[in-house]
Structure 1
Amino acid sequence: MQACVIAGPQQALLQDASRPEPGPGQVLLQLEGSGVCASSLPVWEGRSWFEYPQPPGAPGHEGWGRIAAVGAGVERLAPGDRVAALSFRAHAEYDLAQADAVVPLPAALAGKALPGEPLGCAVNIFRRSDIRAGHAVAIVGLGFLGCLLTQLAVHAGARVIAISRRGFSLDFARRCGAQELVPMDDHQRVIERVKALTGGRWCERVIEATGLEGPLQLASELAAVRGRLVIAGYHQDGMRQVNVQLWNWRGLDVVNAHERDPRVYVEGMRMAVDLMAAGVLDPEPLYTHRLPLDRLGEALELTRTRPDGFMKALVVA
């Protein structure tokens, strides 16, 4: 098979590799494509703790395709089934997944790109947010994740206040159903705008989806007394300073919404597939860049630089 190999910082090469064989409890996936995740940027940028070359296909974990073979003991899955999977070397033509990390796809989603892990991540964050009808919900950061959360919150009956520094992201948020659009151009101006929009009550739920310190501090300011601050951004590049005094004064529930249990990830993926089939969740307009496998490096650079118009990159067969 062919697989992309990150041979060094900002070096992605398409190479020949041995096609794996499924062991007991595993399936072999013939991949249609995989999503490119911002969590892959540290290895792409060359943080000091990574070793190179990376294994073929790593760190791709957003793959979907068809089952090519099954290992011993695998039931209810068969060659030819179209599935999404949580696997770890999906930037390749084939990858292995545990059978219990595979989600069958219904015929209603035939032909649809389905990077299951980020879709399941959005659903799990939404579940942890406990958003209810009538809530004012501020979403700080309107990338792929923020827009999916906007769709889910609007469907739940919430009033979504979308906050982003990128004008085109606010356009996407509007298309996803956000009722209020606020440019993140000035910290104090955003606070005053949200205060006015909520009549001084602030927001019952605030979701931070940027992974940056400044927007996290802003998100804290927007949460109502006894509200819930949900940290959905990818904060793994250093320490953060936060206003714990404000958290304490307002009695906030602060939720770090990143899951670490693979079973919960897969449960979220199953729910996301059901929501897509029901027409509630529609990620298709957010896949703004589709590139062939041999252009993984370009897809990672797009994810790193986030030029105007960029939401989510896929590498496809």
Structure 2
Amino acid sequence: MKSCVITSPFIYEIREIPIPEPGDNEVLVQMKAAGVCGSDLHIYKGENPLSKYPLVPGHENAGIVARVGKNVTRVKEGDHVVVDLIITCGQCYQCTHGREEVCEKVLVRGSGTDGGWREYFTVPEDDVYEIDKSIPWKDAALIEPIAIGAHCTKRGRIQADDTVFILGTGTIGTIILQACKVIGAKVICCDVDDSSLERAKTFGADYVINSKTEDMIERISQITEGHGCTAAFDSACFPGSLALLLQPGIVCNAGRVIPMGFSNKPEPISQADINKRELDIIGSRMSAYQFQPVAKNMAEGKYRLEGLATTFVKFSEIQKVFENMENPDPAVKKTVILFD
């Protein structure tokens, strides 16, 4: 089998290695599709301090069960599955209280340990979820990022009567938009790029704001009749974006702000910014317990998937993925690797 390995920043190679055998409680997954995420770019560029080389990237993984260990009962050979990105201890406070995504010993496939940019790999039975065979592989790879949207909207307690503001309409912003629309909320999307905002309209945005050419707070006031939004997601995630969302006029009293990024730059935020309006600042990382409901929703056609992934690359031509990382094409919003 072939495996794509990043050996050091900006260096990768394709290795020929034996197909592994599953252990007693493991399944062997033959990969069919893998998404390319911004975190894969950071790993390739050497910007993830938690990643060590050599490393097989890829945490958005879908494939077929090729073999099962003798103790496996949940899935069988031939089943279509997606693979959870997190490996957890199952025993810490977080794991036993429904917060396994921040397990004390959490490992993430594709960054903390080897991921799915290889033709086969073994995973514990508990880390795979069967999906409907009607879901095309190019869409199955999107289940993990859509699960992030489902998780953060659950963390943000989004309800049908919410007016949600989303800063940034890239892949994650568009996915959060769809998760909010499935719930029934009204959504305002904001970006500095008109083409991204037009794309957001096709995915269900009720209103769009170009903050480069429009007064963002004034537009929000017009749309919400002066009340402000009940929740805001930061999917732009640049230094200063959290402080931006805490400005009066964006989120109403008792509103929620859900930052999605990992910027470690200090921002000018005061206790008064939060407590004068009794805001909730809610962290959200990855996803937990959302793969199965998202796969069910996808099989039932509840998401608009056409155009969510813009670029498809054969695994045999994976060099194109790295070429785009080094020379980004603005037209490439989301790439999915398809295995032969």
Structure 1-normalised TM-score? 0.89
Alignment correspondent of 1:66:
64
> Structure 1 residues 141-150 or 215-224, which shifts more?
215-224
Instruction: Give the Cα–Cα distance (whole angstroms) in 1 for the partners of residues 279 and 19 of structure 2.
Output: 50
Residue 217 of structure 1 corresponds to which residue in structure 2? 243
Q: Matches of 2:201 and 2:255 in 1, distance apart?
A: 24
Provide Cα deviations, 1:102-145, integer angstroms capped at 9, x if missing partner.
Answer: 11111332455312322211111111121222321101111111
The change in CA–CA distance for 1:300 and 1:147 in structure 2 (over 3 A counts) is farther
The one-character-per-residue Cα deviations of 1:11-65 (angstroms, maximum 9, x if unpaired) are 222221222211122111100121111122332112484776423xx22111101
Matched residue of 2:199: which SS? helix
Q: Is 2:274 the partner of 1:274?
A: no
Q: Write out per-residue CA displacement over residues 162-199 of structure 1, whole angstroms, 9 at most, x where no aligned residue.
A: 0112222112210111010111316x821222122212
* Aligned residue runs from structure 1 range 93-112, under 5 A: 93-112=119-138
SS at match of 1:279: coil
Q: Aligned residues, how many? A: 307
1:204 maps to 2:204: no
Change (3 A) 1:301 1:269: farther
Counterpart of 1:229 in structure 2 is 257
Alignment partners' CA distance in 2, 1:31 and 1:311: 22
- Residue of structure 2 equivalent to 1:291: 313
| Code of the aligned partner of 1:307 | D
> Which has the larger share of helix?
1
Q: Alignment identity in percent?
A: 26
Structure with greater contact order relative to length (CA < 8 Å, sep ≥ 6): 1
Distance in 2 (CA, whole Å) between partners of 1:48 and 1:225 is 36
Give me the TM-score of the superposition, normalised by structure 2.
0.83
Deviations 1:275-314 (A, max 9, x none): 1112212334211111122444542564677532232111
d(CA) in 2 for partners of 1:67 and 1:91? Answer: 16
Give 2:152's match in structure 1, choosing from 110, 125, 129: 125
RMSD between aligned residues:
2.2
CA–CA distance in structure 2, aligned partners of residues 304 and 253 of structure 1: 38
**Structure 2 residue matching 1:113: 3-state secondary structure:** helix
Against the structure 1 CA distance between its residues 159 and 242, is the aligned structure 2 distance closer, same or farther, given a 3 Å change threshold?
farther
Provide structure 2 residue ranges, at least 5 long, that are not aligned to the other structure: 86-108, 110-114
Provide the rounded CA distance (Å) in 2 between the counterparts of 1:157 and 1:175.
16
Give the aligned partner of residue 75 of structure 1. 73
SS, match of residue 250 in structure 1: coil
Distance 1:213 1:207, change over 3 A: same
DSSP 3-state at the match of 2:160 = coil
Unaligned runs of 5+ in 1: none
Judge conservation of contact 2:240–2:267 (CA < 8 Å) in 1.
no
SS of equivalent residue, structure 1 residue 256 = coil
Closer, same or farther in 2 for the Cα pair 1:13/1:309, shift >3 Å? same
Pairing 1:139–2:161 present: no
Residue 8 (structure 1) shift: 2.0
Alignment-mate amino acid for residue 191 of structure 1: I
Any conservation in 1 of the 2:74–2:125 contact (CA below 8 Å)? no
The 5-angstrom pairing of residues 243-282 of structure 1 reads: 243-244=269-270, 245-259=272-286, 265=288, 267-282=289-304
- Give the corresponding residue for 1:148: 175
Q: Give every structure 1 segment of 4 or more consecutive aligned residues whose post-TM-superposition deviation is greater than 4 Å.
A: 48-53, 303-306
The structure-2 alpha-carbon separation of the partners of 1:122 and 1:192, relative to structure 1 and needing over 3 Å to count, comes to same
